[in-house]
Amino acid sequence: MSGLVLAIDQGTTSTRAILFDGTMNVAGSGQKEFAQHYPASGWVEHDPEEIWSSVIETVRAALKNAGRDASDVAAIGITNQRETVVIWDKATGKPIHNAIVWQDRRTAPLCQKLRKQGLEKKFTRKTGLLLDPYFSGTKIAWMLDKVKGARKRAEKGELLAGTIDSFLIWRLTGGKVHATDATNASRTLVYNIAENAWDEELLAILRIPAAMLPEVKDCADDYGITEKNLFGAEIRILGVAGDQHAATIGQACFEPGMMKSTYGTGCFALLNTGSDLVRSKNRLLTTIAYRLNGKTTYALEGSIFIAGAAVQWLRDGIKVIGKAEQSGKLAAEADPTQNVYLVPAFVGLGAPHWDAEARGAIFGLTRNTGPAEFARAALESVAYQTRDLLDAMHKDWKGAKAKTVLRVDGGMVASDWTMQRLADILDAPVDRPTILETTALGAAWLAGSKAGVWPKAREFAKTWALERRFVPDMESATRSVKLAGWRDAVRRTLSVP
């Protein structure tokens, strides 16, 4: 059987399809951006039909660029932007509303209402999550309440709901399979991660009919076969994982204590805790890292809403750079005597603060502050936020090593300046791998290993290769001053200091 495996990486701002060969190298790829919709302040939506079209277009492009046919592909692995949710008609497959994106904050009032009812501890105990608009459950409830006739139709069994992976699986299989994997399910706010099942009590609180939801499978499992007319031949779908979980797998973080952080639109750090379901006391998330062969591996996660999006803001919002890759060079030119802090709470603050009402702020401006200082502040904000997560993880789990080595991936890690500053602020080594397509690689490995054409976990881990290690090179006193300034800036930004 061919060792070719296709990864569909459906992200927040673009869709990519990457064809990996039997040696796990890229044979061909396709990428397409799609529109971001902002119908109201704090609201973010995607058109599911545009996402669907981008998937078909990029898969065909990847095959064409590799000079291969769909019949050559052993399996498909899917990874996706998590928490973004769609409701669609069971008969036609047509969405009833735009997808509500993970960044969207419209359900903050509902989350606040549930907190006032004393329900957050119940949700956290069962799901490992907090009552925040970030997660899928309240988004589903909002659509059922706000789209005319949706709730009645859902109760009649006419509608289906799911994260982007479920929607794509449904479409790819011609409506034959309604499924998701344990990692995506664990981000919905209605999945019991200890029992590995949809939670009837939580579904009742949010008034979500259980029949709408997909079957939950292992990350490497049988998710059906694509329709022949889509790509010219049927292809088995054998792997699914949310993007951050796929990156954890792609970074070969299979052992407890290993940690990865992905720097894309947001930043997401996962610390593998093995079979230990850690209850965070520092407002981190407890999540399913992956589930293989029926065995669940857990993780502590810290979610930062704005990472690469801060660089996009530099480029598109205040236009101090023309291209994202210019940010590191500009930051290096900043005046070292100015301590300018950007708290990028554009859509609220994630872990460990979880303040949906906070909004972005800049501190420390002087008459001499210019584009270079803004660039440095934007990039440093990512390092500071990561430090906050790492500190919380060390407090939460006895298995966390005092000196953690962080494996990184995502678009931002190509910047040497940013990675060096990250190591400086963390006071810990930062390892950048040779293969940066770790999210797609993780999805591909799930499918390839299930298909029997790629190695099992132990052998796959041996293929991970270091491109460069960044080691701390900042004086302790300087680091302390900078961290104190950051913590003061965050305190001033919180909606309830």
Q: At what angle do helices 120-127 and 108-116 cross, to 10 degrees?
A: 100
Q: Is 82 annotated as a binding residue?
A: yes
Q: Is 261 annotated as a binding residue?
A: no
Show the tokens assigned to 235.
């292809």
Show the tokens assigned to 178.
């309604």
Q: What are phi and psi of 279, to 5 degrees?
A: -90, 110
Q: Is 14 annotated as a binding residue?
A: yes
The whole-angstrom separation of Cα 30 and Cα 204 is 42
Q: Is 191 annotated as a binding residue?
A: no
> How many other CB atoms are there within 10 angstroms of residue 198's CB atom?
18
The whole-angstrom separation of Cα 194 and Cα 136 is 19
Q: Is 83 annotated as a binding residue?
A: yes
SS3 per residue for 92-159? CCCECCCEECCCCCCCHHHHHHHHHCCCHHHHHHHHCCCCCCCCHHHHHHHHHHHCCCHHHHHHCCCE
What is the distance, to the nearest Å, from the Cα of residue 374 to the centroid of all Cα atoms in its chain? 26
Q: Is 162 annotated as a binding residue?
A: no
What is each CA distance from 143 to 95, 136, 139, 150, 209, in whole angstroms? 11, 11, 6, 7, 13
Q: Is 244 annotated as a binding residue?
A: yes
Q: Is 16 annotated as a binding residue?
A: yes
The whole-angstrom separation of Cα 483 and Cα 497 is 18
Q: Is 13 annotated as a binding residue?
A: yes
Which residues line the annotated binding site for glycerol? 82-83, 134, 243-244
Which residues are annotated binding-site positions for ADP?
A: 12, 16, 265, 308, 411
Annotated binding site for sn-glycerol 3-phosphate: 12, 82-83, 134, 243
Binding residue positions for ATP: 12-14, 265, 308, 312, 411
Binding residues are 12-14, 16, 82-83, 134, 243-244, 265, 308, 312, 411
